[in-house]
Structure 1
Amino acid sequence: MNQLTIQQMKRFRTEVTRFMMLYKFALDEMETKIDILQEEFQFLHEYNPIEHTKSRLKSPESILNKLQRKGCELSLPSIRAHIKDIAGLRITCSFLSDIYIIRELLQNQTDLRILEEKDYIRQPKANGYQSLHLLVEIPVFMSDREERVCIEVQIRTIAMDFWASLEHKIYYKYNHGVPAPLLQELKEAADAAAALDRQMERLHQEVDKVKEAQAKSSELNRIVIKNQEFVLPAAFFKLIDDSSSGSNG
């Protein structure tokens, strides 16, 4: 291998590394946003709609294989144009309603743009798979430019995530040649998981009603931030009257 070829390899390696770093930075940005929204939601509603998150980057080999399956040109611009799930973020929630709360929170972020939405909850796949898929474009600020990077966001409940994990393991074990009886059992398990989600959602709504009914005005003079409790002085509530009179004036 001559010196020129070595230099070309180094330049290409740098170019590919920087390309992949774009998607890594996009995931970092998105996870920071989710953390902020999560903490704010917890403060406002005394409830956290997110159980956990998990992010991943596709490997160069997986990207290449998908590009070839699509029959697309082999180049970095082609990869960016045709492969939209290089960066992936999975958000797992407790309840069905949480999924759409998270989607709304993301929609309200002015610097994000939702390019595509696929709702496999209202319209499950034939095998029973359920999840909400969003393609989200997020700005990434590099040292010399701003890039708009696409991330695939999957939002699902714990039950949906458990089923999807099991289905993936079964398909991997059988190398996609899963016996028909097992496929039927998987579909029945998906239906059972969906029924459980609906039941848990009903329980969640009932708990919310009880919680609202038990709320005491004496608790309204306290706020908690980062596990530190603050008592609001009685005079502080004069701000309510001042702001009301100001808006009426």
Structure 2
Amino acid sequence: MLAYRFGLDEVMTKLTILRDEFKYARSYNPIEHVSSRLKSPDSILQKAHRKGIPLTLEDIKAQMFDIAGVRVTCAFQSDIHRIRDLLVGQQDLTLLAERDYITQPKPNGYKSLHLIVQVPVFMSDRVEPVTVEIQIRTIAMDFWASLEHKIYYKYGKEIPASLLAELKDAADVADALDVKMEHLHNAVLAIKGSTGADASADMQGLIPSQDLLEAFLRSRGPEQAPDVDGPDAG
């Protein structure tokens, strides 16, 4: 467990350096928040039983890749692959596996980019390779995943089918918000280099807020969606 803790520290140091460099030396910082967690021994044993992993140190190390985990939250989807490339490009970090749940979301709507990496930890008598899972996602993806996790465990990991459909709809709304904010971000960057008529032309491409609102209301179901064009709208 100590080796995994040191592995987390190594990855967190890399991300802290990147975040501080962007913050102080560049005009834009893609890293909004970074957190880490280490599975408890009880959680490791429970998962080993659930996955049928033999209860030996060697088998657990070889087959369980999320004992040490780091989560990186960023503002825009384009930031996800930027952070990914910066991490994978570091010489002492080895990419073992990559799971892209953004281009191929899970059936419930979950989206995130998972990297399974290995970092060397220099102990007093040896170099210990440690496996760490890194999850990279947007604020909207993280918001949805956090609430879905709470609901999942509240129902004892057996969510009613009706709620599963609503969770998927909510994930679609979160994705629409990501798309809109990415478009706004790109438009603002373009406007910063434009003046007068050029800036006005750039603003023409922005997605109306009404579209996002209507998508959200549709996700709630027709029985809950008020008439947004009625006299009380606003």
TM over 0.5: yes
- The one-letter amino acid paired with 2:165 is Q
Residue 71 (structure 2) pairs with residue 90 (structure 1): yes
1:173-204 CA-partner distances (Å, limit 9, x unpaired): 11122122211111100000001001100111
CA–CA distance in structure 1, aligned partners of residues 28 and 142 of structure 2: 21
Query: In the alignment, which residue of structure 2 is the partner of 1:121?
Result: 102
93-102 or 172-181, larger mean C-alpha shift:
172-181
**TM-score where L is the length of structure 1:** 0.75
- The one-letter amino acid paired with 1:154 is Q
92-101 or 174-183, larger mean C-alpha shift:
174-183
- The one-letter amino acid paired with 1:118 is R
Query: In the alignment, which residue of structure 1 is the partner of 2:225?
Result: none
Query: In the alignment, which residue of structure 1 is the partner of 2:29?
Result: 48
Residue 13 (structure 2) pairs with residue 25 (structure 1): no
For structure 2, the residue ranges without an aligned partner over 5 or more in a row are: 196-234
- Taking a change above 3 Å as real, the CA distance of residues 213 and 29 of structure 1, as seen in their structure-2 partners, is farther
Deviation at 1:123, TM superposition (A): 0.6
CA–CA distance in structure 2, aligned partners of residues 59 and 213 of structure 1: 53
Query: In the alignment, which residue of structure 1 is the partner of 2:56?
Result: 75
1:22-62 CA-partner distances (Å, limit 9, x unpaired): 11111111111101111223345311101111100011011
CA–CA distance in structure 1, aligned partners of residues 105 and 122 of structure 2: 37
- The one-letter amino acid paired with 2:56 is S
Deviation at 1:211, TM superposition (A): 3.1
Query: In the alignment, which residue of structure 2 is the partner of 1:138?
Result: 119
CA–CA distance in structure 2, aligned partners of residues 29 and 192 of structure 1: 36
- The one-letter amino acid paired with 2:62 is A
Deviation at 1:73, TM superposition (A): 2.2
CA–CA distance in structure 2, aligned partners of residues 61 and 174 of structure 1: 21
| SS state at 1:125 partner | coil
What's the % identity of the aligned pairs?
A: 62
**TM-score where L is the length of structure 2:** 0.80
1:118-163 CA-partner distances (Å, limit 9, x unpaired): 1100111111000000001111111111111110000000000010
**4+ residue segments displaced more than 6 Å:** none
Deviation at 1:69, TM superposition (A): 2.2
136-145 or 67-76, larger mean C-alpha shift:
67-76
Query: In the alignment, which residue of structure 2 is the partner of 1:169?
Result: 150
Q: Which has the higher helix share?
A: 1
Q: Which has the larger radius of gyration?
A: 1
CA–CA distance in structure 1, aligned partners of residues 160 and 48 of structure 2: 29
